[in-house]
Structure 1
Amino acid sequence: MMSNVEETQPLISHLIELRNRLLRSFIFVAVVFLALVYFSNDIYHLIATPLLDAMPAGSTMIATNVAAPFFTPIKLTALTAVFISVPFLLYQLWAFVAPALYSHEKRLVYPLLFSSTLLFYVGVAFAYYVVFPLVFSFLTKTTPDGVAMATDISSYLDFVLTLFLAFGVCFEVPVAIILLCWAGVTTPEDLKAKRPYIIVTAFVVGMLLTPPDIFSQTLLAIPMCLLFEVGVICARFYRPKDDENAIE
């Protein structure tokens, strides 16, 4: 009877800690959102700038829903608050799982957390500053004669969020490779041998996740290939867990 009580107490303490960390995360995101909500229209204008700069003179975006001019910037602001809060959210996740890790695992996870956050931000910035101008310039120039380009603000937001997520996630390729090698699923040597297939896969992923133009597909595939090489190099410093345990 006593053993059951002792087993239940750690579980309850873990659940309480999880609840507290989730609550802290929610409060942090809410505070950031409240700090940004006044500037919601400015934030949307910033995100819409690549399309507005590429549209013909006199063209504007439109709202096909009565409430869209209010709710669309608010939705973007909420997502921006989450985006800004990513380092804090990852820290809360790390603080929750760290006690279960060995000291050498903690030393290896630190650079992974930092690099994964940085790579996601770099992917989003790459999409905004490099991909969007090229894609929107291509799309506006291919508009048929007699067709006025008037993009709905809600549809535009969904479109750019999809690209942000696609580039942010795809830039995590090195982290994914390191984790796979660290878990013993594959090795850097195996990945190098499969390089031709991975290059083809990168272009297929670029085709599926980006608009149907060669520029955005290539701009996603090429960084993925380069990041694959970076991941293979970095994975050499992460031995499989079984090997680490054997050494210890």
Structure 2
Amino acid sequence: MNQLPSTSLKNESLDQMPFMQHLIVLRQYLFKIVGITLALFFCLLPFRNTTYQWLSEPLTRQLPITSSMIATDVTATFMAPFKLNLFVALVLAMPFIIYQIWSFIRPALYEKEKSLAVPLLFGSIILFYLGVAFAYFITLPAILHFFISVSPESVAPMTDINSYLNFCLKLFLVFGLTFEIPIITLVLILIGLVSTESLVKKRRFIIVGCFFVAMFATPPDAISMIMLAIPMWLLFEVGLLLGKMLEKKPTEI
């Protein structure tokens, strides 16, 4: 009889401990994420101006010889490279961030889910980097060339460094997230929210939706809209193809 109170208290503590432990473990992972991001940020800080020059190359190649970039704000010459340096640090830390998220949710997954989660996480990192690279090397030069070529001859294009940075970061994030479409499509199929048959039936609406989203996510010109909408559609087809392959696999067994 004397052991009943202690046993009940022990059971109550066991019921309460997992939630508190999850919060403590989550805090530890968040500290690691912030720590590695800040470490990369401070390591890259001496090269912030060089990094911004690298970012501005697609624009400076398109500008006339008599034109250059300008700073309309006193703090822009400091804040623009500073913001870019933070973005680069986050991009470089993305594999470590994804790994920390994976380490936190891994104990709650079954073995089959773990075997699928690893390639999905690895693929999401690669696709995000491919999206940013596609935006920088292909989309950004084409957009800049279009806007500068259609400017009146009496107007000398001189872009503010802060405005150009915001434009580039938005473009990078849009394309980086867009290239995650195969992973998103595959996850929706795996968890049973959609099926490949329903996606095939709704393909025409999805294609229209790609152009609709691209119209609002890109600058107001047809070139950038097409350069985002077509990859979105093709990436959706890739995710759909992978989903069909996974749906056929259980039936073969």
TM-score relative to the length of structure 2: 0.92
Q: Structure 1 residues 237 and 5, CA, compared in 2 at 3 Å: closer, same or farther? A: farther
Indicate the residue corresponding to 2:209 in structure 1: 201
Query: Which of 143, 149, 152 is the matching residue for 1:141?
Result: 149
Separation in structure 2 between the aligned mates of residue 20 and residue 236 of structure 1, nearest angstrom: 39
Q: What aligned pairs does 1:25-44 form with structure 2 within 5 A after superposition? A: 25-44=33-52
- After the TM superposition, which residues 188-227 of structure 1 pair with which residues of structure 2 at under 5 Å, given as runs? 188-227=196-235
- AA at the equivalent of 1:98: R
Query: Identical aligned pairs, as a percentage?
Result: 43
Corresponding residue to 1:85 among 86, 93, 111: 93
158, 181, 206: which one aligns with 1:150 = 158
**1:4 partnered with 2:12:** yes
Alignment size in residue pairs = 240
Shift of residue 236, structure 1, vs aligned partner: 2.7
List structure 1 runs of 4+ shifted beyond 4 angstroms: none
Unaligned stretches of 5+ residues in structure 2: 1-8
1:181·1:238 contact (CA, 8 Å) conserved in 2?
no
SS of 1:54's equivalent? Answer: coil
Question: Could you tell me how far apart the structure 1 residues matched to 2:60 and 2:48 are?
Answer: 17
Q: In 1, distance between residues paired with 2:121 and 2:245?
A: 16
1:70 is matched by which residue type in structure 2? F
In structure 2, give the amino acid aligned to 1:12: M
Question: What is the Cα deviation at residue 58 of structure 1?
Answer: 1.8
Partner amino acid, structure 2, of 1:24: K
Q: Which amino acid aligns with 1:127?
A: A
Residue identity matched to 1:137: H
Q: Which runs of 5+ in 1 are unaligned?
A: none
Q: Which amino acid aligns with 2:121?
A: L
Cα deviation 1:122-144 (Å, max 9, x = unaligned): 01100000011110000001112
Q: When the two structures are superposed, what TM-score results if normalisation uses the length of structure 1?
A: 0.94
TM-superposed deviation, 1:170: 0.9
Superposed displacement of residue 150, structure 1 = 1.0
Q: What secondary structure does 1:236 align onto?
A: helix
The equivalent residue for 1:73 is 81
Decide which structure has the larger Cα Rg and report it: 2
Verify: 1:99 aligned to 2:102, yes or no. no
**Partner Cα separation in structure 2 for residue 198 and residue 34 of structure 1:** 43
CA distance in structure 2 between the partners assigned to 1:4 and 1:68 by the alignment: 56
Match of 2:59 among 40, 51, 57: 51
